[in-house]
Structure 1
């Protein structure tokens, strides 16, 4: 069972509307968005967490490439530790709370707060490659989804360019779709880990099966981390992983590079 399957489907049931009155002409009936709102919401979450979304995320390793080239990460077990640090530090104390706080501000139409949180996300990335990457992906995600999701307040997000973080766009999309915070957090975590696995498979000797085993191990721990985030969702954004920060900052100095970060 993968992460998204582990989330109770009942979360979506409350938003699904039933049609009690049959259509006078069933053979010509066309489904409307309101009839299957819960299912459409579920599919939208899957769409947004898909690593194949054409925004160029495949070109970023988030420091994984420099960690491997500088011999800080050599084995599958090291990769598991790398993910563990992301889950317990970056996701738990920075990106997870930021996602919750952004969604809350967006639903309240508090764009001043959104701007502040977006600035904090930029400031918390010590490596210029990570900052630039987040801004590039943020702009691409906005451009891609502006036409796909008509209710997205694209004009508000455009005001944050050129320093619009991808997490800010993701939070806006999830809030606009009325996705619950626990599902939003879980789908975000799945997308990040899946993207990291894709990068790892291209960077060192890691078989597909071994990669999936490591991924599943982390996915089983995500629900617990999500619960911890929700219990302290308004905490100040922070993250303390100096060794990882240093490795990420060294990426621009690598002799050869496959990724942009």
Structure 2
């Protein structure tokens, strides 16, 4: 029961790591008309979850296994590989700012020598500090299996977007919960699709999303950092 309770704690959308400052491209999606109503919002969440599974999700699974094997070199490699594949400065900023905050938070709650080593590397500019890397290390240390870790990460992405939607568009909490419930139905399929892929196969083709990320950097009025 304690295991489940702690897993819920680290997947809580109110976890104080700064994710509230990012919309994962939704702000530009609304400004450009890509998202305009609940149905298009669900399609957008699905798009981001598919992309994230094939990028962040692969890195997370790789690092979870590396953490269990105490393979620090593989942790650093996955961190760098994920960072380099993220298109746009704002996407990189989102991953690393929230990743560092997550590592700092976890270390105030529980000991983790590998997480401490990774955080020290971030502070020394020897590692970028992407969020899925810190999540994988911390959850492996807690005894969370890789499937649970993958679900938690994907849930966090969907929750981040829908939290932003409540501030950006005319939609209520009930509708966002309906969308969240529907979007989570894809998580097992995404896990099965990526669980055997290597870091070299970490890639995603989502040109509309990449254009939205680029659009946000030139927007004069912005509520979110991404």
CA contact (8 A) 2:49 2:157 kept: no
Q: Deviations over 1:197-217 (max 9, x none)?
A: 100111111122221111111
User: SS of the residue aligned with 2:190?
Assistant: helix
Aligned counterpart, 2:28: 66
Tell me how far 1:82 sits from its aligned partner: 0.9
What TM-score, normalized to structure 2?
Answer: 0.92
Tell me how far 1:48 sits from its aligned partner: 0.9
CA contact (8 A) 1:100 1:233 kept: no
Tell me how far 1:234 sits from its aligned partner: 3.1
Question: In 1, Cα distance between the equivalents of 2:156 and 2:93?
Answer: 19
User: SS of the residue aligned with 1:247?
Assistant: helix
* Structure 2: runs of 5 or more not aligned: none
Q: Deviations over 1:58-90 (max 9, x none)?
A: 110111111111222111111111111122232
CA contact (8 A) 1:151 1:176 kept: yes
CA contact (8 A) 1:152 1:172 kept: no
Aligned counterpart, 1:197: 162
More helix per residue: 2
Aligned counterpart, 2:185: 220
Aligned counterpart, 2:134: 169
Aligned counterpart, 2:2: 40
Mark the CA change 1:120 to 1:107 in structure 2 (over 3 Å): closer, same or farther. same
Aligned counterpart, 2:15: 53
Alignment length (residue pairs): 221
Tell me, yes or no, if structure 1 residue 143 matches structure 2 residue 104: yes
Tell me, yes or no, if structure 1 residue 234 matches structure 2 residue 213: no
Question: In 1, Cα distance between the equivalents of 2:147 and 2:99?
Answer: 22
Tell me how far 1:233 sits from its aligned partner: 4.0
CA contact (8 A) 1:84 1:218 kept: yes
Structure whose alpha-carbon radius of gyration is higher: 1
Question: In 2, Cα distance between the equivalents of 1:105 and 1:210?
Answer: 39
Compare 116-125 and 67-76 and name the one that shifted more. 67-76
Question: In 2, Cα distance between the equivalents of 1:134 and 1:228?
Answer: 23
Tell me, yes or no, if structure 1 residue 75 matches structure 2 residue 37: yes
Question: In 2, Cα distance between the equivalents of 1:222 and 1:76?
Answer: 20
Choose the corresponding residue for 2:148, options 183, 200, 206: 183
Q: Deviations over 1:80-124 (max 9, x none)?
A: 111111222321x11221111011111111111111110111111
Runs of 4+ in structure 1 off by over 3 angstroms are: none
Question: In 2, Cα distance between the equivalents of 1:124 and 1:77?
Answer: 29
Aligned counterpart, 1:12: none
Compare 146-155 and 79-88 and name the one that shifted more. 146-155
